[in-house]
Amino acid sequence: MNVLKSKESRLFLLLGGFFITNALIAEFIGVKIFSLEKSLGVDPLQWQLLGVDLRFDLTAGVVLWPIVFIMTDVINEYFGKRGVRFLSFMAAGLISFAFIMVYFAIQLSPAEWWLDSGDQQGVANMQLAFQKIFGQGLWIIIGSLVAFLIGQLLDVIVFQKLKKITGESKVWLRATGSTLVSQFIDSFVVLFIAFYIGADWSLSTVLAIGVNNYIYKFAIAIALTPLIYLAHYWIDNFLGKEKAEKLKAQAGDW
C-alpha cells in the first residue's frame, strides 16, 4: 500500500513535518534573547509589574511558538485530537533526542585547530561558544518540554469544546481562543519550572515576566488569525471541498 497516494496522508505528513520542524527550531533558537522594541526600530519601553522592571526582551523562540499553536489548530480541524496528540508526543520525543545528541556532541574532544578558528570573528574559543549556545540547562529543557506538552493538550481540549459550541462557523474563535488559553498556561509553566524551581527566581519575577511574554504572544496570536483562514483555503482546495468536509466531520470523532 502506497500511503503517499492518498491526499489525506500527504497532507498529514506535510502539516506534521512543518509542525515538528517549527517546534524543534523554536527550542534551539530560544537561547537567544532579543529586544522587540529595538528590532522594530523604537526605543525600549520601560514599565513595572509586581516590583519588577520590564522591557520586551524576549526569547527568540517566541517568534515560532505562535505558529506552532496555529498549526495545532489546523491539524486539530482536519485530523482531530488523535492527530494532534500523536504529533505532540512525537515532537517532544524528537526534541528530547535532539538535546541528547547535542549533549554528546558537546562532550566530543574538539580538534585543536578548530578551537581558535573563529578568533578573527571575535570568537576566542569555539568549544565554549558551541557549549554556551547549544548546551541549555537541564531545568530549561524540562520546563520547555513540559510546557509544550501541557500547552498542546490544553489547546486540543479548548479547541474541541469551542467547536462543539460554534459548529463549522467562527473558525477564528476556536482557533485563536484555544491558542490564547494554551499560550497563557505555556508562558507561566516554562518559567516556573526553568527558573522558579531551577534557578531560584522569586515568584513575583516569574509572574511579571510571564505576563510580559504573554502580552507579546496574545498580540501575535491575534495578528496571525488571517493565516488560519489562508491555511483552510489552501487545504480545502488541495483536498477538494467534499473530501475536506468529510475529513473535518471525521476529526470530531477522533
Q: Is the pLDDT of residue 247 over 90?
A: no
pLDDT band for position 254 (cuts 50, 70, 90): low
What mean pLDDT value characterizes the chain? Answer: 87
DSSP helix/strand/coil, 42: coil
Q: What is the pLDDT of residue 234?
A: 92
The answer to whether 29 and 60 have CB atoms below 8 angstroms apart is yes
Q: Which of 63-67, 96-100, 148-152, 229-233 has the lowest mean pLDDT?
A: 63-67
pLDDT band for position 58 (cuts 50, 70, 90): confident
Separation of alpha carbons 226 and 57, rounded Å: 26
pLDDT band for position 252 (cuts 50, 70, 90): low
The answer to whether 211 and 188 have CB atoms below 8 angstroms apart is no
- Dump the DSSP string for 154-185: HHHHHHHHHHHHHTTS-HHHHHHHHHHHHHHH
Q: What is the pLDDT of residue 178?
A: 87
Q: What is the pLDDT of residue 103?
A: 92
Q: What is the pLDDT of residue 176?
A: 84
Helices (H), 108-116: 112-115
Identify the residue with better confidence: 190 or 49. 190
Q: Is the pLDDT of residue 126 over 60?
A: yes
Q: What is the pLDDT of residue 111?
A: 94
- Please report, rounded to a whole number, the percentage of residues in the chain having pLDDT higher than 70: 97
Q: Is the pLDDT of residue 91 over 90?
A: yes
Q: What is the pLDDT of residue 212?
A: 87
Separation of alpha carbons 156 and 17, rounded Å: 19
The residue type found at 225 is T
pLDDT band for position 180 (cuts 50, 70, 90): confident
Q: Which of 43-52, 107-116, 180-189, 227-236 has the lowest mean pLDDT?
A: 43-52
